[in-house]
Amino acid sequence: MIEAVVFDLDGVLLDTEELWDEARRQLAEERGARWPDDAQRAMMGMSSHEWSRYMHEVVGLVEPPEEISAEVVRGLEALYRERLPLVPGALEAVRRIGAHWPLGIASSSNRPLIDLFLELTGTPSLFRATVSSEEVERGKPAPDVYLEAARRLGVVPEGCAAIEDSENGIRSALAAGMRVVAIPNRVFPPSEEALSLAGEVLGSLDELTPEAIESR
């Protein structure tokens, strides 16, 4: 039985995967570093500690990882305040599902960006628990961020449904023991193999209903 629902943030509620790619790529270009073709996919789901280290060690930025992370986050904060890139139907879906279950967020975003999303949308009261992967040991596809979300919600992971869009996110929630409802990312879609592991695959947030979450 489902006792709580945990949303991913980037790609599910915010259309930001391309913004993250743009911000990181631009920083790399400004610093004269090489941008690998697979850099965006490699970093999807990573915690801030992991992707900033990747940019330092693999992309080749000379700045320390913590400085790289702070610079990218500052750029994204400015973009959010200028125009928050909400996925169509995001707030309606959150309210619809929140009328039935306690909600959480398990995100690879840095804590300041999660808090800014809550502030700009006026939704802090709708989410009982929010977790950034920078607050756990490992980012997605490891299960850490989802396990911590379940702990903060006071629910066993097997009693949670996770709403995910990416390959690493789907694998992370599954590794935590959660039921996964996948809404594939349109720009960086998960593999067919990953989608086959989800309990339900939807076309958009408009299709995210209590019935879809509970469907077996």
Burial of residue 38, with CB atoms counted within 10 A of its CB: 0-12 exposed, 13-18 middle, 19 or more buried: exposed
pLDDT higher than threshold 70 for residue 209: yes
Per DSSP, helices labelled H in the chain are 17-30, 39-43, 48-54, 65-82, 90-98, 111-121, 144-153, 167-175, 192-197, 210-214
Lowest-confidence region among 41-45, 116-120, 122-126, 145-149: 41-45
Catalytic residue check, 206: no
| Fold of the CATH domain 17-82 | DNA polymerase; domain 1 (1.10.150)
Instruction: Out of 10, 21, 144, 165, pick the active-site residue.
Output: 10
The per-residue DSSP string of 117-175 comes to HHHHHT-GGG-SEEEEGGGSSS-TTSSHHHHHHHHHHTS-GGGEEEEE-SHHHHHHHHH
pLDDT for residue 182 is more than 90 = yes
Rounded distance, CA 86 to CA 16, Å? Answer: 9
* CATH number belonging to domain 4-15+86-214: 3.40.50.1000
What tens digit of pLDDT does each residue of 20-34 get? 888 899 899 998 998
pLDDT digits (tens, 9 = 90+) for 78-109: 889 999 999 999 999 999 999 999 999 999 99
- Whether 37 sits among the annotated catalytic residues: the reply is no
The model's pTM is 0.89
What's residue 70's pLDDT?
A: 93
Q: Is the pLDDT of residue 146 over 80?
A: yes
Domain residue limits, the chain: 4-15+86-214, 17-82
Give, in degrees to the nearest 5, the angle at Cα 71 between 66 and 73: 95
Q: Does residue 45 register a pLDDT over 80?
A: no
Q: For position 187, what pLDDT does the model report?
A: 83
Q: What's the whole-number average pLDDT of the chain?
A: 94
Give CA–CA dist 75/172, Å, rounded. Answer: 27
The pLDDT assigned to 216 comes to: 65
Rounded to an integer, the average pLDDT of 174-184 is: 98
High-pLDDT (> 70) share of the chain, %: 100
Task: Report pLDDT for 164.
Answer: 98
